[in-house]
Amino acid sequence: MNEHPTVSAAYIDETHLQHLEQLSDEEFWDYARKLAHQEPVAAQPEECLECTLSNGSCLIPLSALNEVVLPPHRLALLPATPEWMPGVVAWRGQVIAVIDLSMYLSGHMLDLSNGILLIADNAGLALGLLVPAIGQTASIQHNVQVASKDPTATVEKAEQASPWYLPSRAIFVKGIQKGSLVLDVPSLLADAVQQIETAALNG
């Protein structure tokens, strides 16, 4: 029997269609069975930074971060801002809003005078995420075995763990890895920006 080219189900060109038309019934079904048993392309692991928060920890994708800034930080307070926004800070010639990530997620305030400032990117707009401390990086792969230093680590669904975050923040938690929240950072930042803008308009 002729060898058949491997093809993605999402793309079949005209030449391949002509090839299929020339197959006998037996060859066609043999080829179809081979396609059905092809291994799906594995999702690439995502590198994340572990952050210690007030009541737990979270994982933030490195792809969402521009820089990690060590203390001290000179924050300027602004009127009419959400309670989880301690102020703004100068960063690389920009004035950016700073979010107390612990308070945003859980409603609990900490002394962040020696906190770590993570510069995150939201559709080209820089925002600061202030966290008490950071840990190591970890590789996660959702819904499968995690390719990290601990081969037994897996990402669980958020509802499988006892949440310490506010119910309104559940939509920003993609899952749990060994007790750490895996955050949907783009959605979280978009929500924070919207709340900051709303507070400014209503202030």
Contacts of 145 (CB under 8 A, 6+ apart): 151, 154
Locate tokens 């750490």: which residue?
Answer: 180
Spatial contact of 181 and 57, defined as CB atoms under 8 Å apart:
yes
Residue that the structure tokens 């920009």 belong to? 94
Range of the domain at 114: 46-202
Maximum distance among all Cα pairs of the chain, rounded to whole angstroms: 76
pLDDT for the residue numbered 142: 59
Same domain, 66 and 30: no
pTM of the model: 0.71
CATH code assigned at 171: 2.40.50.180
Tell me, yes or no, whether 162 and 108 share the same domain: yes
Q: Counting every residue, how long is the chain?
A: 203
Give yes or no: residues 156 and 74 share one domain: yes
Q: Which of 157, 160, 161, 123 is nearest to 143 (CA)?
A: 157
Which 3 state secondary structure label does DSSP give 171?
helix
Q: Are residues 54 and 146 in the same domain?
A: yes
Is there a single domain that holds both residue 98 and residue 124?
yes
| Local confidence pLDDT in tens for the 203 residues of the chain | 445 544 444 344 566 667 767 778 788 777 777 776 666 555 678 899 999 998 899 999 999 999 999 999 999 999 999 999 999 999 999 999 999 999 999 998 888 889 999 999 988 889 999 999 999 999 987 553 333 334 344 445 544 455 789 999 999 999 998 889 999 999 999 999 999 999 989 86
Question: According to the model, what pLDDT value does residue 17 have?
Answer: 62
Do 113 and 35 share a domain, yes or no? no
Give the pLDDT confidence score for residue 195 in this predicted structure. 96
Same domain, 127 and 171: yes
d(CA 185, CA 57): 14
Say yes or no: 31 and 57 in one domain.
Answer: no
Based on the domain organization, do 139 and 60 belong to the same domain? yes
- SS3 call for 131: strand
As for how many domains the chain has, the answer is 2
Q: The tokens 């960063």 sit on which residue?
A: 91
